[in-house]
Structure 1
Amino acid sequence: MERFETESLALLPGQRVQARVLSHHPWGVIVEIIGYENAGLSASIDMIQQFSRTTSSHDELLALFPPVGAQIDAVIEQIHRWHPPVSVRLSIRPADLESLAWRCDFCGEPITLSPGGGALVLDSRSNDGPGSHTVISHRHCLAERIRPEITGERARAMKIGKMR
């Protein structure tokens, strides 16, 4: 038995993906992420959370549901790996597809998760067993929490993922 599910580690919040709509539900849709059909993960789009404030009626909201079988563009909003199956929440809001913003788990200020946005995605794991938790951080928020005398790690936190 593998201690950690590893296939979903290639997926990050802010990453654009293609998804296929599998079914409709009162709250939204169940989808499969193209390329991860056999990864054993659960993926969904909460249409009420994303669009209920911008629609004037239930019928208008239902009209926004992509049809079953449709292949759509989406962006990963959240990934939960606490226990199997891995759960992925996607967004199809046009603004999120352009640039997904979230809140830093350290300072609470907005941060852009889309490529080029400067967010760090940290996956924390325990030595005691399976599961992990994703933490979203500004570079400086992580660097500030590393002891000052560990200058190399502080510097790496500021540069990870940046082009040279």
Structure 2
Amino acid sequence: MRHKAQIKMFETMAVLVIFFFLLVGGAAFYFQIQKSSMQREIDKQQQLIAFQVVQKALFLPELDCSFVSIQKDNCFDKLKVKQLSLLLNDPENEDFFIDYFNVFGFADIKVTQIYPRVNQTFVYTLYKNIPDDYSSIISTQSPVLLFDAVENRYDFGIVEVDVYAE
């Protein structure tokens, strides 16, 4: 009789051990799925933030080409680009830079003229704030018109926006 009780107890222990192994394995699988799902959601949010930064950069009222209160879409005034770049990159204008940090966060925004090619290249860094530690860079290039008010003509350019995700 005692021998049968020991066998029953051993069977119960074996069932409990198997049950807990299955429970731990299932929990590990579930948490791994949740982790990958969470990472996809984080990537999606970072893409959304990067898209918002690009939109803000493309539609800055400080740079727009406006004539008698008529605005052109995707058009930057070259003189305004140059002046804003000088203001934001001047160390004495720390408050000005902080105001734009609230708009762009950690990003690098450059405007480059690609056509017509001229002897003096038109490349200006509008905003540059790169964190010490970042996990990824989301890069976007968008075509824009560059209005040259001195020569009263339009050139083609690219706005390059790199958003740094922490």
Q: TM-score, normalised by structure 2?
A: 0.25
TM-score, structure 1 as length reference? 0.25
* Higher normalized helix content (fraction of residues): 2
